[in-house]
């Protein structure tokens, strides 16, 4: 038995090198999709209305669909697409395949803003970098997504939180690019600043595509529940909303005071004015939601039916970024999908005062003495 | 060789097994990016607690990594301290402590730039100091290469460096996700198996030799076949890691085909080992046969859960994207068990190889220089 074994040891290193070369040759390529892979039909509930009552507590990871199903009993309104007749679902699936193609060949019919090559490359990049959390259709239900909190964004609602367009509508391309580049602090969304800018642009285009496709699916299914036929012209209107976002006027950022000027009388006066606006009743009403400057949690539903809480100002680390211009837009334009209202009636100078107060709030030494006594009694 | 060293080496293997289990859960539940912030301190979770399964798995994996780092540091220092020459011993210990201190500094400098928006600059000064310390230890060890157990001391230092590299691979898998996507994850997973084999080797080599050596004829053949099985299992783990992280049809085929080769070699080795009537080898052969049986069964179940009809729900293989599918707790458990038993098969084969390669000498037994 033993004498029969002869091993040619000299060949082992070359075989190992060949195997390594084979493996390394595959690294770095963007994985494509099987050509006959289709976007799966939506099987999770449509959240048409969220309960007005305050939620009892935060969401639990891994229980998203069960929690959405429970919204009806709490005064919300949801619909399960699986309850529709199969023929209706097939009709919606056919419409979406015709308008938006497949993961291997995504397209938007009659929309020159969505180039096929960009979308195809964006789709491949998406598989590599985003799919595990955001899912194949952008439903936020990727295999990792179910285990992390907050849940990854579901693009299909057509809504985004951190926008600079002011009307609660679609974000600019630059807004999505910034979120992608910088990530979302305190969540599982990483920063993709190391990714080449050209790749990030393709990813943003693909996220917009998934959002458009998902919003169309949402509208078509909702119409089906109301026994109405989906008007394909609405897709053009959705595309128009994205185009409109790009034309909204931008706000010029004011430079943040450096460490030397944070104690200057002018800056401290601005912080104090910001504090007074923040606590004023009947104008901003910030304390209604940011109770005790956000320390006391007041849970609420966002448009996706998931539970969010207003930021704790004393903790800092704002998800939408803490640069002055980012905070300016959060205050002026709101975070409308989460219920944070816009404040169009505030003058820009007032918004800037609020920005300086919000930026200083996590750091007691940056607050004027009398304000500090009230924020940190 | 002091007895405590063997006990410590076995404890290190057990702690590392815990780390591997958590690491496999990270992959099975796809929680590698549950927290994009890296590096974190060992107490980070206490200050940033979140009741969130993926986040908790990822952070307990990181904490276990710190624990293993501590265990391996003590083990490497203990092994280096067996150097019989006094001056060389003191120098080796000081240089190894310096290596650990500079690694700590390297880690701290990375923590200082952990903001995801910051582009990482490698702390080159700390890295240079680490390399200088390492070269110093290697130099001291080389001057006493003819000393007893010098190979074991070299293996101790190699293992410590491998653990450091493994920790950094895990961290950079998170930190450089934007550049490499999940592609550093299989490298981290495969290197974990190599590190585990090194630790098992240390545990085996620090044990006191006992029992009769294998006769020269079978020894040579068994030593070569068991080494070949170790190499085959490493290749198989490579395909396995690729199936887990990048499950295209080519990787699936390679993993299945190599399984046949590994099982064939394993069966031959078990049969030959049992025929030897050497208790120390027979025990390992029995363990290997049990693990191999379990592994084949788990492999079938893992494959069915990932690619089989149950997983695809009637869809054709071409129209199915395994990495887009949600992972059930059952599937995660089976995949984790399959990977861990695979690690067990590899570790057992390494022990088998180390035991049969001992040469008989007039004084008893002596290790070949690794």
Structural domain includes residue A217: yes
Nearest to B33 by CA among A158, A142, A346, A285: A142
Q: How many helices (H) and strands (E) does chain B have?
A: 13, 2
Chain B residues touching A27 at Cβ < 8 A = 183
Higher pLDDT, residue B52 or A363:
A363
Nearest to B355 by CA among B228, B222, B230, B157: B222
Inter-chain CB proximity B181 and A19 less than 8 Å: no
pLDDT at B274: 87
Q: What pLDDT digit, counting tens, does each position of A119-132 carry?
A: 999 999 999 899 98
Residues A166 and A43 placed together within one structural domain of the fold = yes
Inter-chain CB proximity B35 and A188 less than 8 Å: yes
Residues A311 and A342 placed together within one structural domain of the fold = yes
| Best residue of A137, A188, A196, A318 to probe chain B, by most B CBs closer than 10 Å | A188
Structural domain includes residue A330: yes
pLDDT at B363: 46
Residues A242 and A270 placed together within one structural domain of the fold = no
Q: Which of A246, A279, A307 is the last residue of a domain?
A: A246
pLDDT at B117: 66
| Pairing of the two strands A77-79 and A307-308 | unpaired
pLDDT at B51: 76
Nearest to B140 by CA among B198, B81, B213: B81
Tell me the shortest Cα–Cα distance from B321 to chain A, in angstroms. Answer: 8
Over residues A93-109, the mean pLDDT reads: 93
Residues A46 and A156 placed together within one structural domain of the fold = yes
In this structure, are residues A175 and A248 in contact, taking their beta carbons and an 8 Å threshold? no
Q: Which of A212, A246, A280 is the last residue of a domain?
A: A246
Residues A273 and A333 placed together within one structural domain of the fold = yes
| Pairing of the two strands A46-49 and A307-308 | unpaired
pLDDT at B341: 95
Q: What pLDDT digit, counting tens, does each position of B242-293 carry?
A: 888 777 778 889 999 999 999 999 999 999 888 876 777 888 999 999 999 9
Residues A153 and A279 placed together within one structural domain of the fold = no
Number of domains making up chain A: 2
Tell me the C-alpha to C-alpha distance, in Å, between residue A308 and each of A54, A273, A301: 11, 28, 6
Q: Which of A180, A213, A246 is the last residue of a domain?
A: A246
Structural domain includes residue A41: yes
Residues A85 and A118 placed together within one structural domain of the fold = yes
Over residues A140-154, the mean pLDDT reads: 86
Nearest to B166 by CA among B8, B344, B322, B23: B23
Reduced to 3 states (helix: H, G, I; strand: E, B; else coil), residue B359 is: strand
Chain A residues touching B319 at Cβ < 8 A = 34, 36-38
The CA distance from A293 to B290, in Å, is 61
Residues A242 and A272 placed together within one structural domain of the fold = no
Cα dihedral: B19, B124, A186, B40 (round 10) = 30
Residues A241 and A365 placed together within one structural domain of the fold = no
Q: What is the CATH number of the domain that holds A323?
A: 1.10.760.10
* pTM summary value: 0.81
Chain A residues touching B321 at Cβ < 8 A = 33-34, 37, 103, 127, 136
Q: What pLDDT digit, counting tens, does each position of B134-154 carry?
A: 999 999 999 988 888 889 999
Structural domain includes residue A260: no
Tell me how many residue pairs between chain A and chain B have CB atoms under 8 A apart.
135
In this structure, are residues B265 and B288 in contact, taking their beta carbons and an 8 Å threshold? no
Which tokens belong to A88? 């209706």
Tell me the C-alpha to C-alpha distance, in Å, between residue B8 and each of A78, A206, B68: 58, 53, 12
pLDDT at B367: 44
Tell me the shortest Cα–Cα distance from A138 to chain B, in angstroms. Answer: 11
Which tokens belong to B206? 């620090």
Residues A207 and A270 placed together within one structural domain of the fold = no
Structural domain includes residue A7: no
The CA distance from A193 to B58, in Å, is 23
pLDDT at B332: 86
Tell me the shortest Cα–Cα distance from B52 to chain A, in angstroms. Answer: 6
The CA distance from A37 to B326, in Å, is 17
In this structure, are residues A300 and A307 in contact, taking their beta carbons and an 8 Å threshold? yes
Residues A66 and A145 placed together within one structural domain of the fold = yes
pLDDT band for position A146 (cuts 50, 70, 90): confident
Chain A residue nearest residue B174, CA to CA: A190
pLDDT over 60 (residue A174): yes
Chain B residues touching A203 at Cβ < 8 A = none
pLDDT at B366: 44
Structural domain includes residue A2: no
| Best residue of A127, A148, A189 to probe chain B, by most B CBs closer than 10 Å | A148
The domain in which residue A272 lies consists of 265-375
Inter-chain CB proximity B31 and A182 less than 8 Å: no
pLDDT over 80 (residue A155): yes
| Best residue of A4, A34, A189 to probe chain B, by most B CBs closer than 10 Å | A34
In this structure, are residues B155 and B202 in contact, taking their beta carbons and an 8 Å threshold? yes
Residues A94 and A224 placed together within one structural domain of the fold = yes
- Residue A315's Cβ-side half-sphere holds a number of Cα atoms within 13 Å equal to 16
pLDDT over 70 (residue A18): no
A218 alpha-carbon distance from chain centroid: 17
Burial class (CB in 10 A: 0-12, 13-18, 19+), B117: exposed
Compare CB distances from B52 to A33, A135, A148 and report the shortest one's residue.
Answer: A148
pLDDT at B316: 60
Structural domain includes residue A255: no
Structural domain includes residue A96: yes
pLDDT at B365: 41
In this structure, are residues A40 and A137 in contact, taking their beta carbons and an 8 Å threshold? yes
pLDDT along chain B (370 residues), means of 10: 92 96 89 85 84 87 96 97 93 96 94 77 92 95 87 95 96 86 87 94 87 74 92 93 81 92 95 80 92 95 81 63 78 91 95 81 44
Inter-chain CB proximity B224 and A7 less than 8 Å: yes
């Amino acid at each position: 038995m033993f004498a029969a074994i002869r091993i040619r040891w000299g060949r082992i290193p070359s075989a190992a090198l060949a195997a390594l070369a084979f493996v390394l040759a595959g690294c770095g390529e963007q994985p494509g999709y099987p050509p006959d892979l289709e976007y799966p039909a939506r099987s999770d509930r449509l959240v048409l209305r969220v309960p007005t009552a305050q939620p009892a507590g935060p969401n639990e990871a891994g229980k998203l669909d069960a929690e959405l199903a429970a919204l009806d009993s709490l005064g919300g309104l949801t619909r399960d697409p699986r309850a529709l007749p199969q023929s209706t679902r097939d009709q919606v699936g056919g419409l979406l395949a015709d308008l938006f193609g497949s993961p291997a060949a995504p397209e938007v019919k009659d929309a020159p803003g969505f180039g096929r090559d960009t979308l195809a490359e964006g789709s491949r990049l998406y598989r590599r970098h985003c799919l595990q959390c955001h899912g194949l259709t952008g439903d936020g239900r990727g295999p990792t997504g179910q285990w992390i909190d907050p849940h990854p964004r579901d693009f299909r609602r057509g809504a985004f939180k951190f926008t600079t367009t002011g009307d609660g509508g679609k974000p600019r391309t630059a807004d999505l690019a910034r979120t992608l580049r910088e990530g979302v602090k305190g969540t599982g969304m990483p920063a993709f600043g190391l990714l080449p800018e050209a790749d990030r642009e393709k990813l943003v285009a693909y996220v917009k595509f998934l959002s458009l496709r998902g919003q169309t699916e949402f509208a078509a299914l909702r119409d089906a529940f109301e026994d109405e036929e989906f008007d394909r012209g609405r897709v053009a209107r959705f595309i128009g909303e994205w185009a409109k976002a790009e034309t909204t006027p931008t706000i010029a950022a004011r430079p943040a005071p450096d460490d030397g000027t944070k104690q200057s009388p002018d800056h401290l006066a601005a912080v104090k004015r910001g504090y007074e606006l923040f606590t004023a009743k009947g104008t901003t009403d910030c304390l209604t939601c940011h109770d005790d400057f956000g320390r006391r949690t007041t849970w609420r539903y966002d448009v996706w039916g998931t539970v969010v809480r207003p930021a704790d100002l004393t903790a800092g680390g704002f998800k939408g970024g803490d640069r002055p211009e980012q905070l300016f837009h959060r205050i002026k334009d709101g975070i409308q999908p989460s219920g944070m209202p816009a404040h169009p009636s505030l003058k820009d100078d007032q918004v800037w005062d609020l920005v300086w107060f919000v930026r200083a709030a996590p750091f007691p030494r940056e607050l004027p003495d009398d304000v500090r006594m009230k924020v940190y009694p | 060789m002091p007895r405590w060293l063997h006990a410590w080496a076995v404890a290190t293997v057990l702690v590392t097994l815990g780390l591997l289990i958590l690491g496999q859960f990270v992959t099975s539940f796809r929680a590698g990016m549950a927290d994009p912030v890296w590096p974190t301190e060992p107490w980070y979770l206490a200050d940033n607690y979140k009741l969130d399964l993926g986040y908790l798995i990822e952070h307990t994996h990181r904490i276990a990594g710190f624990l293993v780092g501590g265990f391996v540091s003590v083990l490497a220092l203990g092994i280096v301290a067996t150097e019989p020459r006094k001056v060389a011993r003191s120098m080796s210990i000081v240089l190894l402590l310096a290596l650990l201190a500079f690694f700590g500094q390297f880690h701290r400098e990375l923590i200082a730039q952990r903001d995801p928006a910051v582009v990482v600059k490698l702390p080159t000064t700390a890295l240079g100091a680490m390399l200088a310390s390492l070269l110093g230890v290697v130099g001291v060890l080389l001057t006493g290469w003819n000393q007893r157990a010098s190979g074991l001391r070299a293996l101790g230092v190699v293992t410590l460096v491998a653990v450091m590299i493994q920790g950094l691979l895990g961290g950079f898998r998170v930190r450089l996700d934007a550049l490499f996507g999940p592609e550093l994850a299989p490298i981290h997973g495969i290197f974990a198996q190599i590190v585990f084999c090194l630790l098992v080797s240390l545990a085996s080599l620090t044990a006191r030799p006992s029992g009769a050596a294998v006769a020269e004829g079978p020894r040579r053949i068994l030593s070569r076949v068991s080494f070949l099985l170790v190499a085959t299992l490493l290749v198989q783990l490579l395909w396995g890691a690729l199936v887990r992280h990048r499950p295209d049809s080519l990787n699936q085929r390679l993993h299945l085909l190599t399984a046949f080769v590994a099982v064939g070699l394993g069966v031959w080795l078990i049969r030959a080992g049992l025929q030897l009537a050497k208790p120390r080898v027979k025990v390992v052969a029995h363990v290997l046969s049990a693990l191999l049986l379990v592994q084949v069964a788990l492999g079938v179940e893992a494959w069915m859960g990932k690619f089989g009809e149950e997983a695809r729900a009637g869809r054709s293989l071409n129209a199915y994207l395994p990495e887009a599918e949600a992972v059930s707790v059952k599937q995660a458990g089976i995949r984790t068990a399959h990977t861990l038993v695979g690690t067990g098969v590899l570790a057992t084969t390494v022990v088998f190889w180390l035991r049969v390669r001992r040469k008989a000498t007039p004084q008893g037994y002596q290790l070949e220089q690794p």
